[in-house]
Amino acid sequence: MDLKTYLADRAAEVDAALDAFLPKVKEKPSSIHEAMRYTVFAGGKRLRPILCLAAAEACGGDPESAMPPACAVEIMHTYSLVHDDLPCMDDDDLRRGRPTCHKVYGEGMAVLTGDALLTEAFLIIAQTPAAKRYPAAAYVAELALTGGSTRLIGGQVMDLEGEGKKLTKAQLVKIHEAKTAALLATSIRLGAMTANASDEKLEALTTFGHALGLAFQVIDDILDVTQSTEVLGKTAGKDVAVEKATYPSVLGLDKARKEAAKLTKQALDALDPFKKKGARLREIAGYLLKREY
């Protein structure tokens, strides 16, 4: 199966699973379920869940078992976007080419929608079948640690606190590790765990996910200054406007591009132990990192 078909098929499977997991709009109160679905079905690429499923396959597992964590990480990612877009945070009106949650449903509802999605992510991940090495609670703990105050949320805190300040490269890397790379690496780890991955394999995939996540963020930063709002589907030039430190602003565009290439190589090298079984992950990484930048 070629990559394009693989990605489309997997995204459709994830969408179907998300639809089955999320409460129906007719469940009361309808307004919150409508808002949850508005944000989840806003045309995301399903990058994190696809990586989760592909990691399960790379470790010889059944993607079916990896579907609960795949959906949970996507929902956690979505909640973080809803809250980050709030007026009291990054104050963004546009996301994935559509008005953000608070623009459509109001601020109070957007806070509650994010809360509901975050809670739902845990309801879903609690349904992951235990593997020999990984009891059911291990998936919950992994997601909670990654989503918590030292990683996903901590990254947003550091991001807010860094606005208007001159950051070093080390500080910037710390923010992106916490804000982006951690959840990406966890998406991959959770998939591997459902396939009962050995410590060595889990370690290699963690390195892969980490480098991939950082590379992805460097490229996102570059695109924010080089692309238009129409192409991005979110407000372009936003980082510069709020004086947010980014790879291009800290390193310059040229060095930022080199950094992306270096991280991409790191990610691909980490897959060496998987030999042929790593082919799909290698392909996905190549696809993600070969966006025009």
Cβ proximity to its own copies, 83 vs 280, nearer residue: 83
Nearer to its own copies, 150 or 229 (CB): 150
- Toward its own copies, which CB reaches closer, 118 or 261? 118
Provide the β-strand partners of residue 94: 99
Which one, 8 or 123, has the nearer CB to its own copies? 123
CB of 106 to its own copies, least distance (A): 8
Could you tell me the smallest distance in angstroms from the CB atom of residue 25 to its own copies?
A: 11
Q: Which is nearer to its own copies, 109 or 250 (CB)?
A: 109
Least spacing, CB of residue 68 vs its own copies, in Å: 10
Nearer to its own copies, 117 or 256 (CB): 117
CA separation for the pair 157, 105 (Å, rounded):
25
CA 223/CA 232 separation, integer angstroms: 8
Contact footprint for its own copies (CB under 8 A) = 23, 27-29, 31-33, 36, 79, 83, 86, 88-89, 106-109, 111-112, 114-116, 118-120, 122-123, 125-128, 135-137, 140-141, 143-145, 147-150, 153-154, 156-158, 160-161
Collapsing DSSP to helix, strand or coil, 99 comes out as strand
Bridge partners for 99 per DSSP = 94
Please list, in sequence order, all residues whose beta carbon lies within 8 angstroms of the beta carbon of residue 70, skipping any fewer than 6 positions away.
Answer: 14, 17, 48, 49, 50, 52, 53, 187, 190, 191
CB contact set of 97 (below 8 Å; sequence gap of 6+): 43, 233, 234
Report in angstroms how near the CB of residue 107 gets to its own copies at its nearest.
Answer: 4
CB atoms within 10 A of CB 277: 14
CB of 136 to its own copies, least distance (A): 4
Residues whose CB falls within 8 Å of the CB of residue 257, separated by 6 or more in sequence, listed in order: 222, 293
Minimum separation from the CB atom of position 111 to its own copies (A)? 6
